Structure 1
């Protein structure tokens, strides 16, 4: 789920043992402008910056391509923030042991509602993940079991974050794709939270020979007062928890405060029999305080979850020294360090470096006729079990296997635990075609806003899942060997590996040389400093 920050105090049943790596938490150091947990007073200078950025937009405008000032950024990536959804294992892990169907469903609703209070003080948004960025972590529990999490940014425009969570011993699995869509609403901004999560109890029978599944959507998010007044965070609109196997659905309304009446952070809702519409339970309370459930048939009302007494269990991550360049913690470390130090100039500069590298790689792929594909996830197909999701885990984790075998399969996905680095593979390396090969057009500049309209020639055949060729007939060429690649090492790791001259010769194709791409990077830097675009030189030549 897309959740705001880290916080909370109190006790939880499943505590986190000290791990080899310790854990990282979202910073809450920059709180000088915070009025309360949901409000921030923005200084006049910063408000002017926001006004300059947003003031010319029309109501309803898409915010996904707008660069917001760093003073409203939370110092961690969206891929990491999604783990807030899993930070109350005391509400999730026992759920699969509950035999009564209604009580088991209620326990899932409790788990769903337990994470919304986790947020930094004030109003903050996470760092937007870059294409191919990934994040992994794990939880240690008191019974010596673990839960594992893996997420990757599977699309940039529109943004899509895909994730996988599993607690093998408890026979629980969650798959999801998050698709936030930002909108400008005048003095407010909204993040329309599209996408779903699918929670499974692997050892409970479900429909059509599958297991018991729960489909979870989420509320939208609003920031009020972005141009005038105090900035205020709210959750709003309806979300649903649905289990077709049990014929139950929870309709949960996150209520926004009206101008005259109402309260902030309130919820209401019902649990119904899906086939008949019969209301069985009513929900009430505040998502950041206490929430209650009432049995309509008996009139009994009981506490469902008290966020003021609950203690989140944040995950642990591998040391940065073991992380790859595209892993969230390592990738954003210079930005995060600057944000924590409240050095917004440095944060902006470091963030721009990452974003400019993304733009350069995008231009190179477009010029070379290469389609990017995720490394750890794949797009779903119409006949897939989870076709409701946009992406699912590319590696196979057998739902029917033993917990011990599932752990082995999970650890084979990628690096999760300390000391278990993933073996590099040439199938992770992007491959580029020279822009000279695109109908002999040598005037395609990385800085150009548009590439030639004529279609590129057929690309090199690929069998990897990281990059795939665009449409066209396969060419019988010699594949580039892993030894014939060189890392440009601009802080982006394997994604900057390109063929050397020898590799190009073996493949029988032209490609960008290191000097050409170095020149492009320097041109971008000059453009940033002067605002003047470099003219003229082709982006790449035959090696």
Structure 2
């Protein structure tokens, strides 16, 4: 029997062919999005573009530095608390929008779209104590993800939801409706946070580089507002990932108390109202606290890492055929589950969050400013901590969830149609 071996030249030839096929598929995808008039989040991306991570995991970026998240709770001065909240927010942008991972490898641009009811649970343990996270996909059409992050030791809670919408006009533009509210028990204080827009440059050349644009705000119930203006490198001047943030008393925007300026991907300076530099912050020196999760085999069927495990394995192995096959199984299962629910006249109930019609706190804080970004999202999901604790107690006692007893993940269904946009 003759054993066929691959020579280095043959390997290079295979790699070149794979690269050419990828580029061809990429340009076909560009053609499709260039003529598509709807929300790009409803399109199914080619397997080679998929990142091994679901959007429902993105809430982890809010608390990769738990000590910064809880720092405002230790500050008695309201003005300085507002500054610490702004610094924490800036620390969340670098890894969330980075084009490369920690090893310098270029990230794949398209995360997995969560299925309805998908959840992600984890916690961080460090000198700040235990900071916990629950994230859930509360809507699929349109896509909306709700999250809650809390640290009981410091009385800090971050809660909110994100509703992305994307379109193409030479670059991929992503608008993130929704908002977050950081609450500090000690001072009965709330900070309303809106998110900047994202535009993904280098799409045509396949040199993808996310940039932030526009303006976002942090409005505090204590009477302070932070405004963050984002800009990118122009044709002749400027630097990538640039921002200028001003912190001012409400009604006195022209006289900022602090000005923070630099790059959200590297470093920035903090100056007082007299123009004196108080601090230079090197974001690259911040060390992220590892997220702790249950082993995949012990996770609930709805948990992201367990539900997408075979898809993620295929993505990491660059097996585009397995990616498509495993992904379709979940898509078809979800479509079958929706048909089953419609036939029975039932709707999916959120596992950890409860829907509310409006948020009076948000309306109160938004009316103090001219921006209405956060107020455009009228439907609100509140984290139900009693429900969460009841589920944990049931799990410890070996009692299965009374909800979704037959259709807990939908992954086991067989169907013949694809579910759009997963």
The interval holding the TM-score normalised by the smaller chain is 0.7 to 0.9
Structure 2: how far apart are the matches of 1:194 and 1:243? Answer: 19
Q: Which residue of 1 aligns with 2:384?
A: 395
Any conservation in 2 of the 1:255–1:264 contact (CA below 8 Å)? Answer: yes
Any conservation in 1 of the 2:64–2:92 contact (CA below 8 Å)? Answer: yes
Correspondent of 2:71 among 94, 105, 124: 94
Q: Which residue of 2 aligns with 1:346?
A: 322
Correspondent of 1:55 among 19, 22, 31: 31
Shift of 1:50: 2.8
Structure 2: how far apart are the matches of 1:415 and 1:260? Answer: 60
What TM-score does the superposition give when structure 2 sets the normalisation length?
A: 0.82
In the alignment, structure 1 segments of 5+ residues that lack a partner are: 1-41, 205-210, 398-408, 430-486, 488-492, 498-516, 526-543
SS in structure 2 of the partner of residue 138 of structure 1: strand
Q: Which residue of 2 aligns with 1:270?
A: 246
Structure 1: how far apart are the matches of 2:206 and 2:315? Answer: 24
Structure 2: how far apart are the matches of 1:319 and 1:112? Answer: 30
Runs of 4+ in 1 over 4 A off after TM superposition: 383-389, 413-416, 419-422, 522-525
Aligned pair 1:125/2:102, yes or no? no
Q: 1:415 to 1:73 in 2, by over 3 A?
A: farther
Structure 2: how far apart are the matches of 1:53 and 1:281? Answer: 45
Any conservation in 2 of the 1:59–1:185 contact (CA below 8 Å)? Answer: no
Q: Which residue of 2 aligns with 1:494?
A: 408
Structure 2: how far apart are the matches of 1:112 and 1:257? Answer: 22
Q: Which residue of 2 aligns with 1:328?
A: 304
Residues 169-189 of structure 1, C-alpha deviations (whole Å, 9 max, x = no match): 100001110111111123x11
Following superposition of structure 1 onto structure 2, how do residues 422-501 of structure 1 map, counting pairs within 5 Å?
A: 423-429=399-405, 487=406, 494-496=408-410
Structure 1: how far apart are the matches of 2:409 and 2:237? Answer: 53
Residues 226-278 of structure 1, C-alpha deviations (whole Å, 9 max, x = no match): 22352222122211111032x11111112122233221111112112112323
Aligned pair 1:380/2:356, yes or no? yes
Structure 2: how far apart are the matches of 1:99 and 1:155? Answer: 39
Q: Which residue of 1 aligns with 2:3?
A: none
SS in structure 2 of the partner of residue 372 of structure 1: coil
Any conservation in 2 of the 1:254–1:265 contact (CA below 8 Å)? Answer: yes
Aligned pair 1:193/2:210, yes or no? no
Shift of 1:373: 2.8
Following superposition of structure 1 onto structure 2, how do residues 106-145 of structure 1 map, counting pairs within 5 Å?
A: 106-118=83-95, 119=98, 120=101, 121-123=105-107, 124-142=109-127, 145=129
Shift of 1:524: 4.9
SS in structure 2 of the partner of residue 48 of structure 1: helix
Q: Which residue of 2 aligns with 1:337?
A: 313
Residues 497-539 of structure 1, C-alpha deviations (whole Å, 9 max, x = no match): 9xxxxxxxxxxxxxxxxxxx97xx26459xxxxxxxxxxxxxx
Residues 309-363 of structure 1, C-alpha deviations (whole Å, 9 max, x = no match): 1111131001112111111010011111111222222122211211121122222
Structure 2: how far apart are the matches of 1:313 and 1:383? Answer: 32
Q: 1:415 to 1:310 in 2, by over 3 A?
A: farther
Correspondent of 1:203 among 156, 171, 186: 186
Q: 1:190 to 1:369 in 2, by over 3 A?
A: same
- Name whichever structure is richer in helix by fraction: 2
Any conservation in 2 of the 1:380–1:386 contact (CA below 8 Å)? Answer: no
In the alignment, structure 2 segments of 5+ residues that lack a partner are: 1-17, 364-374
Shift of 1:305: 2.9
SS in structure 1 of the partner of residue 87 of structure 2: helix
Q: 1:51 to 1:307 in 2, by over 3 A?
A: same
Number of residues of Structure 1 aligned to a counterpart in Structure 2: 378
Query: Once superposed, what is the RMSD of the aligned Cα atoms?
Result: 2.7
Residues 203-225 of structure 1, C-alpha deviations (whole Å, 9 max, x = no match): 21xxxxxx200011111122122
Aligned pair 1:180/2:156, yes or no? no
Any conservation in 1 of the 2:56–2:145 contact (CA below 8 Å)? Answer: yes
Residues 291-317 of structure 1, C-alpha deviations (whole Å, 9 max, x = no match): 111112x32213353111111113100
SS in structure 2 of the partner of residue 55 of structure 1: helix
Q: 1:355 to 1:496 in 2, by over 3 A?
A: closer
Structure 2: how far apart are the matches of 1:250 and 1:60? Answer: 35
Q: 1:180 to 1:374 in 2, by over 3 A?
A: same
Structure 1: how far apart are the matches of 2:286 and 2:398? Answer: 36
Structure 1: how far apart are the matches of 2:260 and 2:383? Answer: 38
Following superposition of structure 1 onto structure 2, how do residues 225-244 of structure 1 map, counting pairs within 5 Å?
A: 225-228=202-205, 230-244=207-221
What TM-score does the superposition give when structure 1 sets the normalisation length?
A: 0.64
Shift of 1:51: 2.6
Any conservation in 2 of the 1:257–1:264 contact (CA below 8 Å)? Answer: yes
